[in-house]
Structure 1
Amino acid sequence: MSANNANYDLLCAARYGRLGDVESALKAGADIDFEHVDCNVSSTGTALYNASMKGHIDVIKLLLHKGASLVKRNKLSYAPLLIAAHEGQTEAVDLLVKHGATLDIKDCFQHTPLMTAYIFNHVDTVKRLIELGARPDLEVDYMSHIAKRLADRSNCLKLVEEARMTKLLRCCNPKCGKPGYRKTLKLCAGCKLTRYCSRDCQKQHWSVGHKKCCGHDAYTEEGPHPIDKMESHPSTCPCKQERFKFPKTS
C-alpha cells in the first residue's frame, strides 16, 4: 500500500469508525493529519475531524494517542471540537476537551462550540460544555435572538441563562471545573481563552494537551470570508465534478 493510498484509507476508516482499518492505515505510513483538499473552499477535514463529527470514540482515542492535531481546521474553518459540537457529539466533545482542546475556540462566524451546539439545539452538548467551563456570557443577545427565531431552543437558552446569572465561570482544567468569579480565575497568558483556579490546574491542563493548542487555534484566516469564497465559487471549478466523496458503506 502506498502512503497516499494509506492517507485515503485512514480518512475513510475514521469516517466510518473502523478502528482496525485506522490502525492498519497508520502502520502503512498514513499522515495522521492528512485531509483531501478539493479547492480553496472545500476539504474533507482530517481523520480526527471526521471521527469527531461521527462520534467514533474508540477512533478518537487512538488518533489522540497517536498525536493527531486538535487545531487543524477544514476549509470552512471547523476544527474537531467545533464539528463535534455542531453534530451534538457530546462524548466526543468531552474527550477532545479533556485532551486539551480549547473550549472557546471560534469558527469563521465567531461562534464558539457552545454557541454552535446552542444554534443546533443540542441540549446535552450545551450542558456539558458549560460544565467543562465554556463561557456562557458570549453573545448573549445573539443567543436570545436565535431562541426567538428558531423553535425549541428554550431548554438550551435556559441552561445558558442560568449559567450566566451566577456570574461564575469555571476552571478550564477538565479534572477540576471549580467555579469562580472572573477576577479570581487566572487567564492563560498565551491564548487568553482558558482560565484556571490555580497554577497547579494550569500546569495540569498544559501537560494533558493545552500546550499543543495554546496560541495555535485562533481563527486567523486573511482575505475573503469562507462563505464569500463559496458564494463566488466558480461553477467551472474542477471540484464541482471531481470533489472527493467518501465511498458508501455496504
Structure 2
Amino acid sequence: MDWGEWKQWTTARIGLGRSGVAVPTKSVLQFRLDHAKARDAVWAEADFNLLFDFLEGMGFSFVEIKSKASSREEYLVRPDLGKKVSTQGYQSLEKSRDSFSKAPEDFDLSLVISDGLSASAIRDSLIPFLECLIPYLQKLKIKISPIVIVKNGRVAIGDEIGAFWKSKVVIVLIGERPGLSTENSLGFYLTYNPIGGLTDEKRNCISNIRPGGMTYEDASRKALYLLTLSLEKKLSGVLLKDEETPSLSENRKIE
C-alpha cells in the first residue's frame, strides 16, 4: 500500500513528499494554516447564540454561567480557576433553580456544555452531536436538570454543577485541545455521583467527536451505552468497564 492509500484513513501528516531536502511548499502552507486554525480555536470567544436558539427550540431550560477564570488569558494560565464555578455563577444557578418550572426532583443527568480549549468545536460539532443524542435521552425518559453552559470551563467544573443539581450523573461536553488537523474536536466526559474534588479516574471519556473523527451517531450510541450502564451499576471511570466490542458498537441500534 502506498502513502496515497494510507492517507485516506488518517488526517495525520504522513506521505508529505519532498522538494529537494525539504517538504513541498503546499505541505508547508497547509501546516501554517492548520497551526493558525488551532491557535484561533484556543483564543477565540465561543459563540453560544446558535446553541441558545437550539435549546429553546427543543424546550430545554438552561442557564449560562462563568468559571472563576475572568478572561481567556487567565483561563489558559490558571487551569485551576476553570474548574470552579464563580460566585456570580452560583447566584445564576440558584436563580435558575428558583425559577425552574418543574418541582425539584432527583435528576438522572446534568448536562454541562463548555467552550474549553476549542471555540471551533462549539461552532462545528456541538449542535450536530446534540441533535443525535437528545432524542435518545428523551426516548428513554432520562430526567435532565436545566442545562448549564459555562464560559471558560474545564471538565472538572461539571462535578460542582452536578452536585448542585443533586444529579446521579453529569455529562460535560467540551471543546478539546486542538491538534494541527483537528481544531474542532468535541469531548464527552461522564461522571457518576459528581462532587467537587474528583479526579480523572472517575470519568469516562469519548474523544474526537467531529467531522472526520468519531461520527455523531456513533458517539451518541456510545454515550447512551455508557450513561445507561453507569446508572445501572452506579459507577463511572476506571470501575465502569466498556464491555461492548467494536463490532457490536458499530452495529448497535437504539430503538
The TM-score, its normalising length taken from structure 1, stands at 0.26
Greater RCO (CA < 8 Å, at least 6 residues apart): 2
- More strand by percentage: 2
